[in-house]
Structure 1
Amino acid sequence: MGEESVDRSEGFGERLLGVLLDRARLLPPQLIAPLIAEEVARIGGRDVSILLQDYAQELLVPLPGKKLHVGQPEPIIDSPAGRAFLRGHAVEVPQTPSGVRMYLPLLDGSDTVGVMALTLNVIGDDDRRLLSRLSGLVADMLVTKGAYTDQFFQARRREPMSVSAEIQWSLLPPTSMSVPQVEVAGILEPAYRVAGDSFDYALNDNILHAAVIDAMGHGLDAATMATVAIGAYRHARRVFVSLAEKYALMDDAISRQFGPDHFVTAQLMHVNIATGELELVNAGHPAPLLIRDGRVVQQLESATTLPVGFGGEEPRIREHTLQQGDRVLCYTDGIIEEHVNGGEQFGEERLIRCVNRLRDEPSQGLRADLRRLSHSLKRERSGRTTDDATLFMIEWHGGAADHLAVLD
């Protein structure tokens, strides 16, 4: 079929995407790849690759599959695929001697699960519109069908994963979320051996609920405690109790299950995404950092609250008011307690210097900046991560999103 004879009208696009929607319900996971390749071929595309983010959030690795082009993994930093992944926008790269290689972010909601790459001889606005919609459907199919198979998980792994890490990754929400009023992003280290660290969040109406936890110990014991803590947190969140009651329910669950010698440190937050009002309970955790205009301006201190599991009194809630563009960085003690330089602890001052250095380069968005920070911290620690080390960041924009529910 000649390039000029390919139908790229919106009506053709509706029929093409309709086939995908009609078949998606019954399609086995291993047939996603060949169907996508067929769809792309209908508009003159070729060499289709599906690239998924690895667990360490360093590479985009190719998904094996019939009719897919399987090349080498591409770095998330400094590659066209990585730029599409981080920015959430298509990237086009002219090919030699002809053609254009397109990299389209696979957006599931606001979480980017990977990138779809393909080559076209020529590209126009109809192609861009159709491929953008196709990539959205592909992302949804990968996430939905990924719940039925291990194939996608296996493709994302670059090294063996411990049982405790398996548990923690299965607990996590999407590692990023973006809506007009607020964004969040998180990173777990070491990705393949993490045990007691975790984070969780949910956006319920105008309230962003967020928690970062660190269960004592290592291995399966820590992972089991973290599982109970996150389960209790979600239960409390879903029965609409206050921040103080969330702490009490988590505390009761940990103390009943594990006894008086076990504990979990935690940060629990409510952020009103319309007003920027933040409520904080800090249960034995390092204080979050408030970042304004690219610099750490203060630690968000709160009244002392015992770690979860120690039967502490009802916590006093500290309130803060965010300004538009503010970021809040939460981290676990594995970040600052890592030993460097012959025994000296990494410390909060080094962390703050690393955060402030992010201003030296233009921001590419919250996810990209958090990844840059994570890599910078690894370099500062000479690549060492002997304890769980988690970063979780919130960026508040304010405003409203009601216009998105109104059809033009």
Structure 2
Amino acid sequence: MADALTGVSRALREAPPDRVVEAADRAIRSVLGASGTAVFVADYRINGLWPVVDSRQPEVADQAGQSMVQRCFSSQQPVRDGDAGGRCRLYLPLTVWGERLGVLMVELPQEPSEEVAARAVDVAGEVAMALRAADQETDRYRRARRRERLSMAAELQWELLPGRSLSHDAFHLAGQLEPAYTVGGDHFDWSLDDDRLTVTVLNGDSIGLAAALLTAVTVNAMRNARRSGGGLVEQAELASDTVYYQHRGHRHVATVLLELDCVTGRVRAVDAGSPHLMRLRGGSVTRVALDQQLPLGMFAETRYDLQEFDLDPGDRLFVVSDGVWGADPSGRETYGQRAMARSMRATRLQPPTEAVGTVMRELQAFHADADLRDDAVVVCLDWHGSGDREGG
């Protein structure tokens, strides 16, 4: 089995980045005796999974096949589908460090043994890692993901993202941007280093490309401070000074910066003017009250203070931008007054990757399925506790 995996890994490493899917197909046919394969990637809205088109791959265009693909992606578990002729299709999640990329379908001439099925899962892991790396060197997989053309602002924002989900023994994390193809200034960022998870969520000022450029400067200023060893205060202050000296107070960015200690569950925070934090504990949704400080870039040499709060094992933390909290499409009460809490409670049995989609879908329904008037960000963090981590 190890030799087989080594062969798959070597084949994927040696393939050009735009031909990883073809290399995977050849290797899987050889190692598993498969009669065909297909790779499906999730679109920007995570509304569907789409094949990376290749004439040598069998199509799974029927409704039952698409249902199996979606079931595998949502559950993040292998799914089997046999037919009367004895053939079997294995649907395997393509996931790296919790980042859900898509699904690998492997068509086998007969029902696989447990050994073959286990080998297929490991092969899917190799394919996922190769796709994640290849995505930086070719546009092929990004073209497969998009259902329409991105605006220039959205192109910048998606390039700036760290990913859309992240898993760790102590936590699970996911985020989503909407409107996916035209998002302007709202954004999220995260980084995991030495058992400390840093998460930032930004409410971008203005609209369109101007908002995206402002957000890009802000995010990179915070990354610069963080990668130089600076804490949350240094990150906020460098970003604030950078924005101020570019725009002299005429432009600013409302931001929240969080740092989670993955061992203790202690959260340090800098609230620079919003977004909003909501905690789901048991069946109750409550707002995490933080003292709002000045948005980044409003004044020169602004200084920021840290605040702290604790998460209990099992807590779920949502961070939402004003486009979620303050949505009022018909002049009635805002989404954040009651409807948002209901949608958050409805996610109790869902992982964060599904929970962010539920809150976004409910937001769309609140808008009566019309286009969102404002950018919207939802980030969801589940804290499992250090006991789960040590036991894992």
> Considering the TM-score relative to the shorter chain, is it more than 0.5?
yes
Q: Number of matched residues? A: 387
Match of 1:241 among 208, 230, 249: 230
Corresponding residue for 1:326?
Answer: 315
Q: 1:399 to 1:308 in 2, by over 3 A?
A: same
In the aligned structure 2, how far is the partner of 1:75 from the partner of 1:197? 37
Corresponding residue for 1:337?
Answer: 326
Amino acid across the alignment from 2:381 = I
Match of 2:103 among 115, 138, 143: 115
SS of equivalent residue, structure 2 residue 345: helix
In the aligned structure 2, how far is the partner of 1:138 from the partner of 1:266? 36
Amino acid across the alignment from 1:328 = L
Shift of 1:174: 1.3
In the aligned structure 1, how far is the partner of 2:347 from the partner of 2:127? 33
1:99 is aligned to 2:90: no
Q: 1:75 to 1:304 in 2, by over 3 A?
A: farther
Amino acid across the alignment from 1:308 = L
Q: 1:226 to 1:352 in 2, by over 3 A?
A: same
Shift of 1:294: 3.9
Corresponding residue for 1:7?
Answer: none
Q: 1:358 to 1:108 in 2, by over 3 A?
A: closer
In the aligned structure 1, how far is the partner of 2:241 from the partner of 2:331? 40
Match of 1:386 among 369, 373, 378: 373
Corresponding residue for 2:160?
Answer: 171
In the aligned structure 2, how far is the partner of 1:319 from the partner of 1:350? 28
In the aligned structure 2, how far is the partner of 1:70 from the partner of 1:147? 26
In the aligned structure 1, how far is the partner of 2:15 from the partner of 2:275? 47
Corresponding residue for 1:23?
Answer: 11
SS of equivalent residue, structure 2 residue 290: coil
Amino acid across the alignment from 2:239 = M
In the aligned structure 2, how far is the partner of 1:379 from the partner of 1:196? 23
Shift of 1:324: 0.1
Q: 1:366 to 1:343 in 2, by over 3 A?
A: closer
Amino acid across the alignment from 1:347 = G
Corresponding residue for 1:253?
Answer: 242
Give runs of aligned pairs for residues 281-300 of structure 1, distance below 5 A: 281-296=270-285, 298-300=286-288
Cα RMSD between the aligned structures? Answer: 2.2
In the aligned structure 2, how far is the partner of 1:321 from the partner of 1:343? 34
1:197–1:226 contact (8 Å) kept in structure 2: yes
Corresponding residue for 1:397?
Answer: 384
Amino acid across the alignment from 1:111 = E
Corresponding residue for 2:357?
Answer: 371
Structure 1 stretches (4+) deviating beyond 6 angstroms? 73-76
Higher mean displacement: 233-242 or 364-373: 364-373
Shift of 1:199: 0.5
Give runs of aligned pairs for residues 189-228 of structure 1, distance below 5 A: 189-228=178-217
In the aligned structure 1, how far is the partner of 2:18 from the partner of 2:193? 35
1:55–1:157 contact (8 Å) kept in structure 2: yes
In the aligned structure 2, how far is the partner of 1:144 from the partner of 1:358? 32
1:155 is aligned to 2:141: no
Amino acid across the alignment from 2:382 = E
Shift of 1:66: 4.5
In the aligned structure 2, how far is the partner of 1:195 from the partner of 1:73? 36
In the aligned structure 2, how far is the partner of 1:29 from the partner of 1:250? 35
2:254–2:272 contact (8 Å) kept in structure 1: yes
Corresponding residue for 2:122?
Answer: 133
For 1:158-209, what per-residue CA distance to the aligned partner results, in whole angstroms no more than 9, with x for missing partners?
Answer: 0111011000000001100011101110000000000101101111112111
In the aligned structure 1, how far is the partner of 2:270 from the partner of 2:63? 40
Shift of 1:403: 7.4
Q: 1:29 to 1:69 in 2, by over 3 A?
A: farther
Corresponding residue for 1:63?
Answer: 52
Report the TM-score when normalising by structure 1: 0.89
Shift of 1:313: 4.0
For 1:256-288, what per-residue CA distance to the aligned partner results, in whole angstroms no more than 9, with x for missing partners?
Answer: 122211010001001111111111111111430
In the aligned structure 2, how far is the partner of 1:288 from the partner of 1:84? 31
Amino acid across the alignment from 2:373 = T
Report the TM-score when normalising by structure 2: 0.93
In the aligned structure 2, how far is the partner of 1:98 from the partner of 1:220? 54
2:12–2:23 contact (8 Å) kept in structure 1: no
Higher mean displacement: 255-264 or 221-230: 255-264
Higher mean displacement: 217-226 or 108-117: 108-117
For 1:94-148, what per-residue CA distance to the aligned partner results, in whole angstroms no more than 9, with x for missing partners?
Answer: 3244322211001222212110012221111111111011101101111111111
In the aligned structure 2, how far is the partner of 1:212 from the partner of 1:230? 9
Match of 1:262 among 251, 265, 270: 251
Shift of 1:386: 1.6
SS of equivalent residue, structure 2 residue 128: helix
SS of equivalent residue, structure 1 residue 252: helix
1:74–1:81 contact (8 Å) kept in structure 2: no
| Long gaps (5+) in structure 2 | none
In the aligned structure 1, how far is the partner of 2:334 from the partner of 2:23? 53
